[in-house]
Structure 1
């Protein structure tokens, strides 16, 4: 009998491999621990690591290890796996493909309340009252109350109703208080099945459903009814008992898509985006994991929802840069959805009026099947007008032509959208005495003045400084007013049209939860003029918008980036598409200093194919994507010379590839930054060489930080 406890311990104790929370690639490997509890792959555990306790994810159980004196797991946090086999394998693929720590991939996949991190958010519980059977005697009043209440009910409501006898009903066993996870309801139910399809929409749906191809590019002009095609495909998947993921690039588009989806399918959907709080994200994640909903509408991170039977992945505005994650792991959503489609054997439809060059090139080659919607539902594209600002009279950055057209539009009780892709009041604050420009001490770029908060804000790192209206160099109090942001534009438009109801939509006005939805609803019901950044350029569908004005249209084209023309074309064409989407004719007025630029001419004629052909010639000559694959390596250190030294060493290490740089780019809070751009003809070669480069970087034992960005859409500056 004396040996039984020892034998029992041998049976229960097992060796497990754990990836511990750390962003260091040097520690991107499993660590073995002893575990005396039942645990599964995909569960979180708390383990001793170095001088502290850390949270990790179990990746293997019952492993063999020759290491003596293994440390023991301190706590098994989860009793069932958080990540299924598909997602565990996907994380490993991401870690290898993007050269990122595996634990960072796990963190990216899970909602905050479930992250493998020592700072993970706790799950919120609520108290609920449930009815029970009991033989204890009740007063007449107590009997009446019990019969009148519809159980289960929130405990707080139960105590309000039964103020004097709540405790007695609990003590006598008629009511039980239970703790349940808070489950916020995010979607209201209102079903509207009224819809009609154009011939092109019917043909597009038939082509997608009948094809043996997996990946489709739905190239539809603005207003051609791409969303209705999505809804029809989703309906077919639901009839087959399958799940559907509808991706939108940013939060601003989520309210309108949710409204369309819920109107068609009711409240049986989950939504997932960054403005949900931790409990809401956990609740939506759990709905999908437990198969309680069939449709998910979400932004980039919703691609990691724990689906079990996907029928369609529908990606709206596939060209949008928001689909690229900007911190480790720097994943591209399109890459992830392709991996998930392979596992679920589902079809993927990527839609855009201005497809990315990469997507259209794949369709051109036949890797994607091209499906076209080249006519608007109302059969009428908006008329584009280029306003040459070299010749036009202007007032505070507004041409006399645009002012006149806004006035005419308002007189007809129609709506106006004005796009200025710069938020704040003044983009540059410069002292008129000594010409000192107010710059960010971390990034070295001009601070933007925000009049509402009397602050100077860096739109690169986000730091904010109170503006004392005094030059820090000469202490002067006079400043040049250079340029204009949306805040100043709102002020000027208010002066010109004092009777108009003006609404502003940018990163500053949409900080609060639900702000996007509130602003869009306000503009739809009572607004006259909507002023905004690129948020107002895509996805918005308002019947009364007949006039769109685009200010400082040349800004996007002056960026020192291979993708500047593509970004400019997409922004201008998408913004133009907001006008004339109903039965009233639409007009778009683009203020430009370069009316002869090929981007402007392509927008003028709504000619995507012409833009594609010209831009691809430039990409081919310059040896840029989609003809090659890129990676950027950014070296960060307080000492610029040290960063350059390591960058030059690693450029020599990568001499079998085409390497551009090193060059200095804008600083950040953590130091000076130096960039290398690496080009390769194959992903396999690039991926292998970057992994070798990282191993070499580690061998240098340097304190220069290395930031790896595989397959960037654009170059950081």
Structure 2
């Protein structure tokens, strides 16, 4: 009798699981209602003879709904799709949505999977059991059967470029893969890269634009605070006032500071010594959460003993505030539930999933974090976004620093007011007159683009040129400069511009001294030059020196 009952339970459980999977598998047939603008874009992509598309839609405009409908139609026609997100922090949100829409058809690929989990997902894609792939940049190589769409969400993000060998940009791989497999590429962003928008304006990509939010939700009001006039270097009076108001209304808050750790500079007040990495020419960051000094380049970490490592004095100053320090100051002022999100607290396997669900469920009142919280997260109860220091990226000596500042702040501002409640954004800066800050407040990507593209054309930077960065490094500093000059002389060519050799901004990383040669030319000339360059570098190869050629580099530091 007991055996019969156990068997009946097993059969019932099996049938329930089978029914659940059937329902999940059929879920993509239940259409989400698109508005007329979304429907126009979806239909335009489906019927177009073009292969490359760019959707520029303001934050909260419903771009994801368009992507999902495209994938649904592809599935109904027996076709597959790849959906790329730039950051693993976005995966839990998208997994929840994609599982709801597509059930067991979805394969998830990201770096937090175990080897067994990854192998299972790849096998299910290879056999055709799963025809929708959701993942970060490496997911672009998934062997999806009958590929119809490759969708690159937040296409402007630098994390699509892999800076270690093999170097590739998932966005450009997507374009090539689409050509090889007769598929379509859909790029989407509220703040497209300057290059992508330029190609769209030139007709290379088919452009679709959405300038208002889904269901006519209002874009957040943006207010700029000049920190030169504030007494408190952490929080302006205006930001504190808005935080109090939001908490009293039981609304949630997101605060952005793109600096990890507690302090970016630890200095002895007696002898002046600053704690520096032994392997990199960079100062160590102090992390109060585990009382350690850490290098953000090589990752080396050591316990902070509370005194100067040179003279032993305990008279230590901590300057250059990081996100941990701001969290500490915030807790002094507001006795509420606060969660910090940065690269150091997010190493646990299920951190992002727990963070997303907990904040969405109201467990925390305030989220404070680095740039990873600026991307694509949807929390309907967030009505206030504060940018603690808008100047941290603008000071980086890189021709893309203005673009990155605009993108990051605009994206995090877009987390406010995504539900029915009105949103507000407070941007703290010491440069309120800077044109980037002005364009952010205007909420005008077009005006920013026009200003930026004018500068790029004058200076002959991408998209008007293509660039190559040659990195030369060695464990020994002696002889490096001479070898770099030899390389420079050998690879000179009248059709391209060469600059350098010059020391890298961070000269020593992981025990290797680094120099760069920067090359610039138009597309045709650079493509011809690459063959010449490859042959020349083979002839002057020296095992003492490592040469890395990075075409279309993102990181020039």
Fold similarity call, TM over 0.5: yes
Report what 2:306 is aligned to: 469
Structure 1 gap ranges (5+): 1-139, 154-184
CA distance, structure 2, for counterparts of residue 521 and residue 629 of structure 1: 43
Q: CA deviation at 1:393?
A: 3.0
CA distance, structure 1, for counterparts of residue 378 and residue 171 of structure 2: 25
Report what 2:59 is aligned to: 222
* 348, 351, 362: which one aligns with 1:515: 351
Report what 1:118 is aligned to: none
Q: Over residues 299-358 of structure 1, what are the superposed CA-to-partner deviations in whole Å (9 max), with x where a residue is unaligned? A: 000011112210111110000000001111210111211121112211110000000011
Tell whether 2:499 aligns with 1:660: yes
Report what 2:554 is aligned to: 713
CA distance, structure 1, for counterparts of residue 386 and residue 169 of structure 2: 32
* TM-score normalised by the chain length of structure 1: 0.73
User: Where do residues 543-562 of structure 1 align in structure 2 (5 Å cutoff)?
Assistant: 543-562=380-399
* 325, 332, 341: which one aligns with 1:505: 341
User: Where do residues 75-474 of structure 1 align in structure 2 (5 Å cutoff)?
Assistant: 150=10, 191=27, 193=30, 195-379=32-216, 380-394=218-232, 396-474=233-311
Q: Over residues 439-459 of structure 1, what are the superposed CA-to-partner deviations in whole Å (9 max), with x where a residue is unaligned? A: 111111111101111111111
8 Å CA contact 1:190–1:262 kept in 2: the answer is: no
Tell whether 2:363 aligns with 1:524: no
Report what 1:78 is aligned to: none
Q: CA deviation at 1:208?
A: 1.0
Q: CA deviation at 1:692?
A: 2.1
Q: Over residues 520-553 of structure 1, what are the superposed CA-to-partner deviations in whole Å (9 max), with x where a residue is unaligned? A: 1111112110001011111111111000000111
8 Å CA contact 1:190–1:267 kept in 2: the answer is: no
* 693, 696, 701: which one aligns with 2:539: 696
CA distance, structure 1, for counterparts of residue 219 and residue 210 of structure 2: 13
CA distance, structure 2, for counterparts of residue 189 and residue 466 of structure 1: 51
Secondary structure at the aligned position of 2:540 is classed as: helix
Q: CA deviation at 1:675?
A: 1.0
Report what 2:16 is aligned to: none
Q: CA deviation at 1:624?
A: 1.5
RMSD: 2.1
Structure 1 residues 190 and 430: CA distance shift in structure 2, 3 A = farther
Q: Which structure: greater helix fraction?
A: 2
CA distance, structure 2, for counterparts of residue 374 and residue 206 of structure 1: 18
CA distance, structure 2, for counterparts of residue 690 and residue 436 of structure 1: 44
Q: CA deviation at 1:660?
A: 1.2
Alignment length (residue pairs): 539
8 Å CA contact 2:31–2:69 kept in 1: the answer is: no
Query: Max radius of gyration: which structure?
Result: 1
CA distance, structure 1, for counterparts of residue 467 and residue 156 of structure 2: 18
Structure 2 gap ranges (5+): 14-20
Secondary structure at the aligned position of 1:433 is classed as: coil
